[in-house]
């Protein structure tokens, strides 16, 4: 293809080569070096002047270094007079931080809402109504204001005449009763009356830590400021993350790829049960279950953490008091209340867990154990982004998951060697990304990839 250049960062070189092989083009040459102090140096060895440049960099490995490397590459291409620079991030970095559980030892920022016991739809005091001719108040008002005389007939005649000549303009408004009135004070900000107690770690009794920065706008501004004109990603953890950008964002779906795997490689897939490990992925799992005609099950969980009611004081006046503070913090216990519930029937069924991202693997391994406890016969785990940080891959290997299927949006070579190719399978997404790049370069529609894949 003419005037198309595909560059790759250091996060996932094999995926970049696969994309270029599907596009039948040569990969652009980039020289990336590290100085002794850790700074990154980028040199574009191919000409990108008046070219349509696509830079492939996944949010895995050393996320911060890889992201800075992507920003420098974007800026270098714009300085070199590239016509358009598109960032291809199969796994978008910093996209799931607001979704961190509210555990006592994990930072997170749930929303604070104020609930009122009762609501009123009346305005206080009520709006006074204008006096009407037939009201009882008018009758009593004129009755009291007319002079009394001995002739009742004359009194009635004069009273009726006055009533007929009365208008709203010359009527006196009723005087309000004198007395004290205090406006009702309605508290709409819980922070003004209920100031949370914060312990030495900056955590409240709700179990989450305050002062957590939301990085969505920052990441979007960094990419656009560096010079990115477009963004390609896959299965954003939160689709609303696209709202942080003021450039086009193509959020590709792995749903067609997972559907084809279920149809082709799971025996009697019509009898299997599609399971969402949490309520957040219910929409993703139900769309696959409805398109395949399979049953659906949901695992509902609640995680609440309660710290000690009397947190240690953060003020220390001497060295001895500071030692006592550290001891009291280290010995304080946290009560975590977790309830898990399975909605659906999985007894003697093949279960397919669908999730977009597995990082520490706590959620999906506990879901697999619950399914086996409820009588599930076999458990598949279909994951779009298999990060498997820390000891997650060992936890998955010892869990009740019988087979793990993920994509190569993140390098999986080491994970396959740990679990084994018979229980760990990797699906290739390079064809989908290559087709998206080809369609964007030629000015064609990308919406077909959302439903049918490639």
DSSP 282-300: HHHHHHHHHHHT-EEEEEE
CA atoms within 13 A on the CB side of 23: 30
**Gap between the terminal Cα atoms of the chain:** 19
Number of C-beta neighbours around residue 379 at 10 A: 24
- Residue 154 scores a pLDDT above 60: no
CA–chain centroid gap for 118, Å, is 31
CA atoms within 13 A on the CB side of 263: 11
What pTM was computed for the model? 0.70
pLDDT given at position 353: 97
pLDDT given at position 423: 94
Most confident of 156-160, 223-227, 300-304: 223-227
DSSP run (H or E) holding 308: none
Max Cα distance, the chain (Å): 118
CA atoms within 13 A on the CB side of 213: 6
What structural domains and CATH numbers belong to the chain? Answer: 4-96+214-251 (3.40.50.2020), 116-208 (no CATH), 255-427 (3.40.50.2020)
For 356-389, write each residue's pLDDT tens digit: 999 999 889 999 999 999 999 999 999 999 999 9
pLDDT given at position 449: 87
Q: Are 449 and 432 in contact (CB under 8 A)?
A: yes
DSSP 203: B
> How distant, in Å, are the alpha carbons of 53, 188, 291 from that of 192?
52, 9, 50
Which position has the higher pLDDT, 24 or 168?
A: 24
61 Ramachandran zone, left/alpha/beta (phi>0; psi -120 to 50): left
For 408-418, write each residue's pLDDT tens digit: 999 999 999 99
């Amino acid at each position: 293809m003419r005037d198309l250049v595909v560059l790759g960062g250091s996060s996932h070189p094999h995926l970049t080569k696969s994309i270029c092989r599907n596009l039948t083009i040569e990969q652009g040459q980039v020289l990336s070096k590290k100085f002794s102090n850790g700074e990154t140096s980028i040199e574009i060895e191919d000409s990108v002047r008046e070219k349509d440049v696509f830079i492939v960099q996944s949010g895995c490995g050393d996320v911060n270094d890889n992201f800075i490397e992507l920003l420098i590459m974007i800026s270098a291409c714009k300085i070199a007079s590239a016509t358009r620079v598109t960032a291809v991030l199969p796994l978008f970095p910093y996209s799931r931080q607001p979704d961190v559980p509210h555990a006592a030892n994990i930072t997170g920022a749930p929303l604070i809402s104020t609930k009122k016991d009762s609501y009123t739809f009346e305005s206080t005091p009520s709006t006074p109504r204008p006096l009407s001719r037939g009201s009882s108040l008018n009758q009593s008002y004129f009755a009291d204001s007319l002079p009394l005389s001995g002739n009742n007939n004359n009194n009635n005649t004069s009273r009726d005449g006055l009533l007929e000549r009365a208008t709203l303009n010359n009527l006196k408004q009723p005087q309000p009763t004198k007395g004290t009135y205090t406006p009702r004070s309605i508290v709409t900000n819980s922070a003004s009356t209920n100031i949370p107690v914060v312990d030495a770690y900056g955590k409240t009794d709700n179990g989450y830590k305050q002062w957590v920065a939301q990085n969505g706008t920052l990441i979007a501004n960094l990419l656009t400021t560096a010079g990115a004109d477009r963004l390609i990603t896959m299965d954003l953890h939160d689709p609303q993350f696209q709202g942080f950008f003021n450039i086009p964002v193509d959020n590709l779906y792995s749903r067609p790829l997972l559907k084809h795997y279920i149809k082709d490689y799971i025996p009697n897939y019509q009898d299997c049960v599609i399971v969402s490990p949490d309520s957040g992925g219910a929409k993703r799992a139900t769309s696959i279950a409805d398109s395949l005609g399979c049953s659906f099950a949901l695992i509902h969980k609640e995680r609440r953490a309660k710290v000690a009611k009397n947190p240690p004081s953060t003020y220390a006046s001497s060295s001895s008091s500071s030692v006592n503070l550290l001891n009291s913090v280290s010995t304080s216990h946290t009560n975590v209340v977790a309830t898990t519930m399975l909605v659906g029937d999985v007894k003697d069924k093949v279960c397919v867990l669908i999730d977009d991202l597995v990082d520490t693997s706590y959620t999906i391994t506990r879901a697999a154990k619950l399914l086996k406890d409820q009588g599930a016969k076999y458990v598949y785990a279909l994951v779009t982004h298999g990060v498997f940080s820390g000891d997650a891959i060992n936890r998955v290997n010892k869990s009740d998951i019988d087979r793990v299927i993920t994509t190569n949006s993140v390098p999986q070579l080491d994970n396959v060697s740990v679990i084994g190719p018979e229980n760990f399978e990797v699906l290739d997404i390079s064809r989908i990304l290559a087709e998206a790049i080809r369609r964007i370069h030629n000015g064609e529609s990308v919406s077909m990839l959302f439903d049918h894949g490639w």
